[in-house]
Amino acid sequence: MISDEELIYLDNNATTQIDPAVLEEMLPFLQKFYGNPSSGYRFGSQVRQAIDRARERLANLLGCDPSEIVFTSCGTESNNAAIDSALQFEPRNKHIVSSAVEHSAVRRHCEDLAKRGCEVTFLGVDQDGNIDLAELQNAIQPRTAIVSLMWANNETGVLFPIEKIAQICREKRVLFHTDAVQVVGKIPICLRQSSINFLSLSAHKFHGPKGVGALYISKKSRFRPSIIGGGQENGRRAGTENVASIVALGKAAERAAECITEEQERVRAMRDRFENAILEKVNGAAINGARAPRLFNTSSISFAGIDSPAALMLLDRHRICCSAGSACRTGSTESSHVLRAMQLSDERARGALRFSFGRFNTPADLDQACEIIPQVIEKLRALSSSSPTNVQPQPALQMLT
């Protein structure tokens, strides 16, 4: 087993290290406090209270009412549940608007629904990963059941203008869901003042454990559950609660609320220093989505003349963890659907690596990464037929650098 002490972990969009304070709060619910929260005696009701507290902590982070939160098993479940619910109310409304750059938890689900009789419009993006709001307005039809668009892209960090999108959907009287898995805990959110109907999140992206998430359902939105059984989560998600993980999610939300301002500044400074160093040291490197509003922790960089799977292997030998596109696609030879949707060349998509920073990265991690990565890229280029000197950045690369 490789211990995290030996790693330079630059893959915080894939998952994050559990915060020690979160782990501490979670453990008693795997040991001493094993009562069922639905049981009537005090041994059970104290567990119910711990769940209620987690709900309050998360509601505080999101600026919403605790009753608007439903705990789920992950971000994927939350995404699926919001979309599926919207399709249940009006049998004639079987049209979904989404985008070509969504995480597979939305994209694949929509593709599957399309095979089963729904119509899906996947909006395209420009070279910087931005969506066109006029195109969104035009895509919404009387038959549209829901618009589902991500808040921040997991590969590039590009942010969609979610509040404007929510406003458009409200004016058009169509439900709006956002996959906010990459932004919750990272940017301030106040749902009380927004027109968002549904929002998905996942604890392991903000220093909580894997296998627990939540779906925000605004008070004004109708919802029909996908998982039916006992009346847990106020009848909106059946199944005995994953108590320890829910408690942990609550604590992770509390920690995020405490750290958000300081962390944003510190991590942004780290990411910016990293990007500047890489652009300075490596020829033919370009930031994907550089001109778009971007999440402060994410850096998607294309290196001309390399193949990202080979780069990942070599970086792994140097104990640097990063990814080629999203973690879910590692092992696949297909290039990123996000970078392809941004109309980047095949070469540019093939040479893309995603680095994502987080709470536990240190300046020492950064210094080492800035030393090792240029050497690895140089080595890869020397190994391939093209040498560093004859790697000519393409026009698109030069334009975006």
Question: Smaller CB distance to ligand PLP: residue 93 or 288?
Answer: 288
Minimum CB–partner distance for residue 346 and ligand PLP (Å): 24
Q: How many residues bind ligand PLP (CB under 6 A)?
A: 12
- Sole window of 63-71, 179-187, 275-283, 363-371 interacting with ligand PLP (rule: CB under 6 A): 179-187
Minimum CB–partner distance for residue 325 and ligand PLP (Å): 11
Could you tell me what percentage of the chain is helix, strand and coil, using 3-state DSSP and rounding each to the nearest 5? 45, 15, 40
Distances (CA, A) of 178 to 293, 296, 312, 378: 17, 19, 31, 40
Instruction: Give yes or no: 328 in active site.
Output: yes
Question: Smaller CB distance to ligand PLP: residue 157 or 284?
Answer: 157
* DSSP summary character for residue 17: P
| Token pair listed for 328 | 């879910």
Question: Smaller CB distance to ligand PLP: residue 76 or 361?
Answer: 76
Question: Smaller CB distance to ligand PLP: residue 55 or 103?
Answer: 103
- Indicate the pairing of strand 175-179 with strand 320-321: unpaired
Residue type, 252: A
If one asks whether residue 182 binds ligand PLP (CB under 6 A), the answer comes out as: yes
The b/e string for 313-348 (b: 16+ C-beta within 10 A; e otherwise) is: ebbeeeebbbbbbbeebeeeeebbbbbbbbebbebb
Minimum CB–partner distance for residue 215 and ligand PLP (Å): 11
| Token pair listed for 346 | 């095949």
Residue selected from 8, 47, 50, 74 as contacting ligand PLP according to rule CB under 6 A = 74
If one asks whether residue 58 binds ligand PLP (CB under 6 A), the answer comes out as: no
If one asks whether residue 283 binds ligand PLP (CB under 6 A), the answer comes out as: no
Tell which residue, 215, 123, 112, 118, has the closest CA to residue 161. 123
Minimum CB–partner distance for residue 151 and ligand PLP (Å): 8
Neighbour tally for 311: CB within 10 Å = 22
Residue nearest to ligand PLP (CB): 75
Q: Do residues 297 and 266 make contact, with C-beta atoms less than 8 angstroms apart?
A: no
Minimum CB–partner distance for residue 283 and ligand PLP (Å): 31
Of the candidates 74, 118, 328, 370, the residue annotated as catalytic is 328
If one asks whether residue 213 binds ligand PLP (CB under 6 A), the answer comes out as: yes
If one asks whether residue 54 binds ligand PLP (CB under 6 A), the answer comes out as: no
- Angle (CA) 120-121-122 rounded to 5° is 110
Minimum CB–partner distance for residue 105 and ligand PLP (Å): 4
- Sole window of 24-32, 178-186, 231-239, 374-382 interacting with ligand PLP (rule: CB under 6 A): 178-186
- Sole window of 74-82, 156-164, 228-236, 376-384 interacting with ligand PLP (rule: CB under 6 A): 74-82
Tell which residue, 263, 262, 259, 273, has the closest CA to residue 366. 273
Distances (CA, A) of 398 to 286, 324, 348: 7, 21, 12
Residue type, 179: D
Minimum CB–partner distance for residue 253 and ligand PLP (Å): 15
Question: Smaller CB distance to ligand PLP: residue 194 or 202?
Answer: 202
- Sole window of 69-77, 130-138, 303-311, 383-391 interacting with ligand PLP (rule: CB under 6 A): 69-77
Distances (CA, A) of 157 to 56, 91, 181, 330, 342: 28, 36, 11, 18, 13
If one asks whether residue 358 binds ligand PLP (CB under 6 A), the answer comes out as: no
Residue selected from 48, 55, 57, 103 as contacting ligand PLP according to rule CB under 6 A = 103
Place of tokens 């950045």: 393
Angle in degrees, 0-180, between the axes of helices 243-281 and 42-62, rounded to the nearest 10: 30
End-to-end Cα distance, the chain:
38
If one asks whether residue 179 binds ligand PLP (CB under 6 A), the answer comes out as: yes
Strands (DSSP E) found in 189-278: 198-202, 213-217
Residue selected from 80, 154, 218, 336 as contacting ligand PLP according to rule CB under 6 A = 154
Minimum CB–partner distance for residue 214 and ligand PLP (Å): 10
- Give the residues across from 96 on adjacent strands: 120, 146
Name the strands in the sheet holding 119-123, side by side, starting at the edge strand that comes first in the sequence. Answer: 69-72, 213-217, 198-202, 175-179, 144-150, 95-99, 119-123
If one asks whether residue 80 binds ligand PLP (CB under 6 A), the answer comes out as: no
Question: Smaller CB distance to ligand PLP: residue 111 or 367?
Answer: 111
If one asks whether residue 75 binds ligand PLP (CB under 6 A), the answer comes out as: yes
Instruction: Show which residues are catalytic.
Output: 328
Contact footprint for ligand PLP (CB under 6 A): 74-76, 103, 105, 150, 154, 179, 181-182, 202, 213
